[in-house]
Amino acid sequence: MIFKLLDNILEFTKFAFNLSDGWINEEIKEPLKTILKEDKETYKVYSNLKILKPKAEQLLAMKILAARPEPAKDFVDAYILCKDLSITTKNKLMETISTYIPLKIMGERQINFIKYLGKDLGYDWE
């Protein structure tokens, strides 16, 4: 049921914004189905439209999960989010991630992403 709902939401979004067939990162589509929790906040309000966005903690978890190589900006975004959220330890990062996604779905790509993220932030997150 939830999978069908997600597919309908994605299809409606594609139609509503006249997006091309490949508009969503297919690598993240499947993991999106495992999101444990959503924390949204209002981004903009218009007379007939309210735009919501994920809170920074959820966005960080999603960036880690996606862990796409350049030219995607997941690494830069995760770096900035860690700084903004004052995340200085791997434990704190993993706690934040596990609030939104099950850690069991993280693979080698995400683990390496976290290791290099820690290194760039000046921490040893081996």
- pLDDT for 28-42, tens place per residue? 555 566 676 777 888
pLDDT at 30: 59
Instruction: Name the average pLDDT for the chain.
Output: 85
What is d(CA 15, CA 18) in angstroms, rounded to the nearest whole number? 5
Specify the pTM.
Answer: 0.72
Domain boundaries, the chain: 1-33, 34-121
pLDDT band at 98; cut points 50, 70, 90: very high
What is d(CA 31, CA 100) in angstroms, rounded to the nearest whole number? 11
pLDDT at 26: 61
